[in-house]
Structure 1
Amino acid sequence: MTHWIETLLAGSCEVPHCASTADWWPRHLARSRETPDTLAQAILGGHFADRVGWAFASAYQAALRALVPDLPADTVAALCVTEKEGNAPRAIRSELRGGRLNGSKRWTTLGPEGQLFLVVARDASVPSEVPALRVLRVHAGQPGVQVDPMPPTPFVPEVPHASLRFGNVEVAESAVLPGDGYLRYVKPFRTVEDLHVQAAVLAYLVREARRLAWPRAWIESAVAQLLSLEAIARLPPLSSATHIALAGALAGVTQRVAEADRYWLATGEDEAAVRWRRDRALFDVAAAQRDKRRERAWERLAPA
């Protein structure tokens, strides 16, 4: 039997209180070392989280390592894409020119705690109407890197964000990740992150369901949904067929969440129930983009 299934169905339903990233990070590290499989890391992170925020944080770290497998395991990493005008390729103004990075980023997840930033920037050495993007490894302690905490978000406020500024930061050639920054990293990460985050939060809900004695039928359905996400995670993240399969799986997750809402209401003012009502908005983030992804996938697969 798959290890994470045994943990979800037979492991302890009680987990330690976790109030800060300083509490969460060593626990996440301990769990992530149990398996090299990043989706399993996300699921275990969700199971051992006492709230949605830490399930999300563990999933985010696992997803980054699915995207860039050689990231150091003991380092808080972040993918830095979004700028003042958004995160589309044409919105990226940060620039790598002559081995120096200049620019800024917003809403960098775990930014205040970040040790290694994967920064998406224009490559000034490639003249093109469409920006040629690269992903650069930048350490938080490098000269010219400024990290400014941003206000907490309305949901999962425990997970901090930061705005970043890069002033003439030196970038060695070895710190430039291979391949097109958008097609190889930014675009697939949307799919990879969806898989890991949804799996982690669903695993969190399974543990809470066992703790609060929700119907076994709900737990069975949720675990089956997790197995579906695990299978999809093995598929190419840019494939239209993958996106259609993922859309179906996420529809199932949405149904499980809607059912869970009713069980949470019956829980009353349990501390976890109060946090859930605050944090469930996480499931609505990027919903419009997911809908567009599904529609484009069907269009690409339509016979000519």
Structure 2
Amino acid sequence: MSTLQDAFSRFLSDRPDAFAASSEAAYKAHWQTLGEQDPLALAFAGGAIADRLAWVFAAAYQGAVRACFDGARDGAWIALCVSEDRTGEFPGVVLENDMLTGSKSWIAASDTVDQLIVSVGPSLHGGCHLLERNDPGVELVARPRKAFLGDLSQGAANLTSASASTPVDLARADRFGVAEPFFVVVAAMPYLAREGARLDEPVDDALAGIVRDLDGIAAAGFHSDVRALLDVQQRCAAIGKVLARRAEGTTDGPGADWAEDGRLLGMYGRGLRARAQSD
């Protein structure tokens, strides 16, 4: 069985260029050619073609959702839709007569997403249903892009009597909170190796150590050892900080997004620490 160490070794040997994707649609189109089915391999391969951190997150997110939920079509981008408006202006999603009505306030990659896993209410406890972007009663609305991960679109979903005919198995749903940081680290490995070479910063050995430990975590189940995950996440974030400092002043080409998006690699630390302390 091929491991992340195998994939990383091949990456370092070949040193392929990133795919120059100036738009979300362009990155997604190239991601769809990867042909990987396993979430772990898909996240790594998606990170290997990424020319910016927003695409690293996109690759990681697709792997994380697939690792925790069934139903994603091959080549489709899928989003987990749980968050709801807290002001009351846009009522949350309710289920009545096998129909879903209401709004979700945050949809990742809303411009290009194909499928939605929609929770009833603002948590997974009410159950989830799989919807297609073009299903009757489904409307996606773009939201203003933020500075952080600004290359990736964000939106909201308005549902009006959308059919709840495809319930989603939630047996692995509670793993998503650790899946996202795990897969971000996985997708970041080839990206950081390429950035290290570009910025003339020797990071390959440190990354190889992280990859080795990621294989160990994956073999046991990515959700099974939060302390080990926190350790690799912190090491990944530390390398990111070094590269971000080296990238200061660069404004063109890959890596120009370090100032805005570099915190992606470190932002999961607080949540992982809380989980580790509660275990």
**Between Structure 1 and Structure 2, which shows a larger proportion of helix residues?**
1
**Hey, what does 2:10 align to over in structure 1?**
7
**Hey, what does 2:183 align to over in structure 1?**
196
> When the two structures are aligned, how many residues end up with a matched partner?
273
Q: Deviations over 1:183-217 (max 9, x none)?
A: x31x31111111111221232111121234322xx
Offset at residue 280 of structure 1 (A) = 0.6
Q: Which of residues 232, 242, 253 is equivalent to 2:217?
A: 232
Give the whole-Å Cα distance in 2 for the aligned partners of 1:104 and 1:237: 32
Pick which of 277-286 and 154-163 moved more: 277-286
Give the whole-Å Cα distance in 2 for the aligned partners of 1:9 and 1:131: 40
**Hey, what does 1:126 align to over in structure 2?**
none
Secondary structure of the structure 2 residue equivalent to 1:166: strand
Classify 1:94/1:261 alpha carbon distance in 2 versus 1 (closer, same or farther; 3 Å).
Answer: same
Are 1:156 and 2:146 matched, yes or no? Answer: no
Q: Which of residues 203, 206, 209 is equivalent to 1:221?
A: 206
Give the whole-Å Cα distance in 2 for the aligned partners of 1:154 and 1:76: 22
**Hey, what does 1:302 align to over in structure 2?**
none
Tell me, yes or no, if the aligned pair for 2:8 and 2:211 is still in contact at 8 Å: no
Question: Equivalences for 1:87-236 in 2 at 5 Å?
Answer: 93-122=92-121, 132-172=125-165, 175-179=166-170, 184-185=172-173, 187-215=174-202, 218-236=203-221
Give the whole-Å Cα distance in 1 for the aligned partners of 2:223 and 2:94: 26
Are 1:254 and 2:237 matched, yes or no? Answer: yes
Offset at residue 19 of structure 1 (A) = 0.9
Q: Which of residues 242, 254, 259 is equivalent to 1:272?
A: 254
Structure 2 length-normalised TM = 0.88
Q: Deviations over 1:113-156 (max 9, x none)?
A: 12210001149xxxxxx984211001111221111001112122
**Hey, what does 1:53 align to over in structure 2?**
54
Offset at residue 271 of structure 1 (A) = 3.2
Offset at residue 69 of structure 1 (A) = 4.5
Tell me, yes or no, if the aligned pair for 2:105 and 2:156 is still in contact at 8 Å: yes
Classify 1:84/1:122 alpha carbon distance in 2 versus 1 (closer, same or farther; 3 Å).
Answer: closer
Pick which of 67-76 and 160-169 moved more: 67-76
Tell me, yes or no, if the aligned pair for 2:71 and 2:130 is still in contact at 8 Å: no
Question: Deviating runs (4+, > 6 A) in structure 1?
Answer: none
Tell me, yes or no, if the aligned pair for 2:77 and 2:113 is still in contact at 8 Å: yes
**Hey, what does 1:17 align to over in structure 2?**
20
Runs of at least 5 residues in structure 1 that lack an aligned partner in the other structure: 87-91, 124-129, 298-304
**Hey, what does 1:283 align to over in structure 2?**
265
Classify 1:250/1:271 alpha carbon distance in 2 versus 1 (closer, same or farther; 3 Å).
Answer: same
The residue identity in structure 1 corresponding to 2:152 is V
Q: Deviations over 1:149-191 (max 9, x none)?
A: 011121221111110011111211xx001346xxx31x31111
Give the whole-Å Cα distance in 2 for the aligned partners of 1:73 and 1:246: 28
Give the whole-Å Cα distance in 2 for the aligned partners of 1:122 and 1:155: 27
Runs of at least 5 residues in structure 2 that lack an aligned partner in the other structure: none
Pick which of 66-75 and 281-290 moved more: 281-290
Classify 1:235/1:137 alpha carbon distance in 2 versus 1 (closer, same or farther; 3 Å).
Answer: same
The residue identity in structure 2 corresponding to 1:204 is Y
Tell me, yes or no, if the aligned pair for 2:20 and 2:51 is still in contact at 8 Å: yes
**Hey, what does 1:89 align to over in structure 2?**
none
Pick which of 284-293 and 140-149 moved more: 284-293
Residue identity (%): 23
Give the whole-Å Cα distance in 2 for the aligned partners of 1:169 and 1:251: 42
Offset at residue 6 of structure 1 (A) = 2.9
Give the whole-Å Cα distance in 2 for the aligned partners of 1:243 and 1:189: 12
Tell me, yes or no, if the aligned pair for 2:199 and 2:243 is still in contact at 8 Å: no
Classify 1:163/1:122 alpha carbon distance in 2 versus 1 (closer, same or farther; 3 Å).
Answer: closer
Classify 1:117/1:214 alpha carbon distance in 2 versus 1 (closer, same or farther; 3 Å).
Answer: same
